[in-house]
Amino acid sequence: MNPDVPLQLLGGLTARVFLRDYWQKKPLLIRQALPDFENPISADELAGLALEEEVESRLVLEHGESPWELRSGPFAEDAFTHLPERDWTLLVQAVDQFVPEVADLLQHFRFLPSWRIDDVMISFATPGGGVGPHFDNYDVFLLQGQGSRRWRIGQMCDADSPLLEHADLRILQHFEQTDEWVLEPGDMLYLPPRLAHYGTAEDDCMTYSVGFRAPSAAEVLTHFTDFLGQFLPDEERYSDADAAPSSDPHQIQRDSLDRLKALLAEHMGDERLLMTWFGQFMTEPRYPERIAGTELDQDQLLASLHDGAVLIRNPSARLAWSEVGADLVLFASGQSRLLSASLRDLLKLICAADALHADNLGPWLANDEGLNLLLELIKQGSLECADE
Ligand code: SIN
Ligand code: CO
């Protein structure tokens, strides 16, 4: 992807300029980011998803049994029949994993690393509906799908920003509005992390939130050190050979701290393990239970592909690849595989292609290592074999 090509999705900005001036920094309103946007899912279908056990959904009523009442799905069939005329919103998480047409929207965001994408959340709101003034800890693109929504943006927030006393919702006590726009279908608003925002529906409206993910510093430290710990033998310990005699046996001296820092630096700086952990962590699926594998052998796979079968990424799987020293590594749904550098084009194809088939796999069908990789991904469930 050429970072210097102007993108309609970014209102004519190039990916390079967007990343330099806006990403993680400041909001950007893009009128007609997706012109002629056709809403890929109806409000009724969205409500239908919210009935499903495996789907995460929430209903927020500004004037419910309590102010800003939160109800959590899955919902019963009649849950939407007794709702007030206005001021409520239904939010459904990770719709991209359940509706392929919604997953297709993510194609437009290829100018950003795919492993940073979290999910596409969709909200349906009646007039006045919204989730209150709040901030999120992640970047989000808010695409208007149907109807119109008024977005107000405000101050930059942090962990100390005062919130309303509410058990479940993080609503800001103070909202210092700096700008306001009404978004129509196809319009999009990019918001950096921690910027206060407040969306209210002008009429029955649907908004698509393309949300990104970034591990917290606490997650990086705790998860990486847990991962590292598996590779360290119990025998490797804090050691103080050549320690200077201590004048007070009760004092922990500065040189002990230096020894600890050296021990930490030695292991924390292991780039191979750091990359392996990071790739595994960033590709961990949100719904691992939706990833079930199938066992095939090479002959069965080849026969299916020659008969027109396609391999498609399980919508719940996440894939990424990287270089680790002279090797390549493929990360698939929280697991990693070290592969020889000769498989580079296959790895790129597996991560990027909508579907793998006899045509685009071409010579890889005669490559043993390549075929075994495909079989492993099918066995793990990240790829699914579908007869066309
Ligand atoms: C919404 O779509 O109503 C909420 C999206 C957000 O503010 O993060
Ligand atoms: Co938000």
Determine what percent of the chain is predicted with pLDDT higher than 70: 100
pLDDT single digits (tens) 309-363: 999 999 999 999 999 989 999 999 999 999 999 999 999 999 999 899 999 999 9
pLDDT single digits (tens) 101-124: 999 999 999 999 999 999 999 999
The architecture (CATH level 2) of 288-386 comes to 3-Layer(aba) Sandwich (3.40)
In CATH terms, the fold of domain 8-212 is: Jelly Rolls (2.60.120)
Q: Which amino acid is at 341?
A: A
pLDDT value at 143 more than 80: yes
Whether the CB of 87 sits within 6 Å of ligand 1: no
pLDDT single digits (tens) 9-62: 999 999 999 999 999 999 999 999 999 999 999 999 999 999 999 999 999 999
pLDDT value at 170 more than 80: yes
Q: Of the ligands numbered here, which is closest to the C-alpha atom of 91?
A: 1
User: What pLDDT does 287 receive?
Assistant: 97
Cα 152 to ligand 1 centre (Å): 11
pLDDT single digits (tens) 208-243: 999 999 999 999 999 999 999 999 999 999 999 999
Indicate the domain borders of the chain. 8-212, 288-386
Mutate to test the pocket of ligand 1, among 134, 202, 207 (most ligand atoms within 8 A of CB): 207
pLDDT single digits (tens) 267-317: 999 999 999 999 999 999 999 999 999 999 999 999 999 999 999 999 999
pLDDT value at 128 more than 80: yes
Q: Tell me the residues surrounding ligand 2 (ion) with CB < 5 Å.
A: 136
Q: Closest Cα partner for 304 from 352, 347, 350, 357?
A: 357
User: What pLDDT does 155 receive?
Assistant: 98
Q: Tell me the mean pLDDT in the region 72-88.
A: 95
pLDDT value at 388 more than 70: no
pTM for the model stands at 0.95
User: What pLDDT does 354 receive?
Assistant: 87
Least confident interval from 193-202, 216-225, 241-250: 241-250
User: What pLDDT does 277 receive?
Assistant: 98
User: What pLDDT does 167 receive?
Assistant: 80
Mutate to test the pocket of ligand 1, among 91, 126, 175, 205 (most ligand atoms within 8 A of CB): 91
